[in-house]
Chains A and B, each alone.
Chain A
Amino acid sequence: MKKILISLLAATSFIGLSYADTKNHATEISEKSRETVALRTLKAKPNTIQVYAKGLICESCGIGVRKKLQKLKFVDKSQPKRGIIMDVHSQLVSISLKPGKSIDVEAIKKAVKGAGYEPITLYSLNAKKLKSISLEN
């Protein structure tokens, strides 16, 4: 009985701590917040685009995103993380582009879908303003 109680106490404490901490982190961020993150990243790193991959909340599960995207010809694999950086909090994938190369939107969609996620929006910088293209359907 004592062991059961210790087990329950440990489990309850862990759940409590996890829940308390989770309360401080919204699991869903607004589109505006995501656009703010995308704009900040794109300004800091020219020659990149960003893709909102819905559901990309786990780095290990998302390894396939990097594996699939880095095969695309326009991706600059000489950049850190082979040109593909994932942010699981905003669900944004940052793709470094080779200078002068044009992107293939359909190939990006196929790669993200093949990795198990939903490509929703592609963000790029146009005259220092955020330009977004829907990738749905």
Chain B
Amino acid sequence: MKKALFSVLVISCYSVVQADQPVMSKMPRWSNGYGFQFVQEYRHKRDLLLGDKKVGKGLTEDVHILNIEGVYTWERWIRLTAKIPYIMHAEREIINSQGNVEKQTDSGFGDLTLALPLKKYFNLDGRSGSWTLAPQLRVPLAHQDEYSIGDGEWGVGLSIGYETETAEWFVGVGANVWTFEDEEPFELSAFFDFGRNLFGYGTSGQITWDTDLKWEDDGSYILKAGPALYWKFTDTIHGRVEWKHDFIDYRAVLDHGNGETIKIGLGFVY
């Protein structure tokens, strides 16, 4: 049984890099605007799961990624985004074929995600928002270490979204599909974000509650949610901190789960 579990774990390499959404979805809304941001991402998963059973309770996975993201807006209806994760360090504990706990590590660049978000903005008196349609491309750049955080496969995706905002509140919903060239399962995800705009210290920010649901056609699904705080320090410098907890985590193939994700980002727009 342990041999079988080990084999499944080695070949599955379940993708946990969610690099689907365009970066800085707020900005730049103006023509010929561009920006980039660096997002430090920390993930901690507490258990090795099969289904919702803890087959390896306390066998953890810890991942530290630096996401490098860029965006260019030609006209307000069309922009190009790029995102590449650099895995600073990833380490997981598994049960090897001898039944012993073994540690595996990964580092280096992950897969590149390119997207071409097409936006339809609307401006009402006291409310603004946009519809988004974003074709996406996953370019495999990740190399295989002892295990791999990236998918390592070509993939194409499509994202649709709607967001609207007043001076006080914000709501955003969307869905995202990904299909891959080879072994990676088809993915369907959805998000629902809502929050309040904040004002103070001569500038502004936003606090939101973000919820993500992801399903894969191997039967895995995960529901994660948590708060996020965005702050505009200046017209150029922006910061964002978010924390997400895995509320429901079902792994159809052996993988780590039941985790937390913290992201700390610093962005620059021009």
Contacts and interface: CB of A to CB of B under 8 A. Distances in A.
B235 interface: yes
B3 to A, nearest CB: 33
Nearest to B211: A11
Interface in A49-67: 54-67
Contact of A57 (B31, B121, B128, B211): B128
A118 B230 CA distance: 26
A28 interface: yes
Contact of B127 (A14, A27, A115, A118): A27
Contacts of A62: 29
Given A3-B247, A57-B167, A116 B30 contact: yes
Interface string B10-38: 00000000000000001111110100000
Given A3-B247, A60-B204, A55 B124 contact: yes
Of listed A62, A114, A116, residue having the most chain B CB within 10 A: A116
A117 to B, nearest CB: 6
A67 B33 CA distance: 10
A24 B126 CA distance: 14
Contacts of B125: 28-29, 54-55, 91
Interface size class of B (residues with CB under 8 A): 35 or more
B234 to A, nearest CB: 9
B214 to A, nearest CB: 15
Q: For this complex, into which size category does the number of interface residues on chain A fall?
A: 35 or more
B165 A57 contact: yes
Interface in A1-57: 3-4, 6-7, 10-11, 14-15, 18, 21-22, 25-29, 54-57
B232 interface: yes
B169 A67 contact: no
- Chain B interface helix/strand/loop/mixed: strand
Given A14-B209, A15-B194, A63-B269, A58 B128 contact: yes
A131 interface: no
B269 to A, nearest CB: 7
B143 interface: no
Contacts of B211: 7, 11
A55 B122 contact: yes
26 contacts: A6-B247, A11-B225, A22-B166, A22-B169, A25-B167, A25-B168, A27-B127, A27-B167, A28-B124, A28-B126, A54-B123, A55-B128, A57-B126, A57-B127, A57-B167, A58-B167, A59-B232, A60-B206, A60-B230, A61-B29, A61-B165, A63-B28, A65-B30, A67-B30, A91-B125, A116-B121
Interface of B: 26-31, 33, 76, 121-128, 165-169, 194-197, 203-204, 206, 209, 211, 223, 225, 230, 232, 235, 238, 247-248, 269
Interface of A: 3-4, 6-7, 10-11, 14-15, 18, 21-22, 25-29, 54-68, 88-89, 91, 114-118
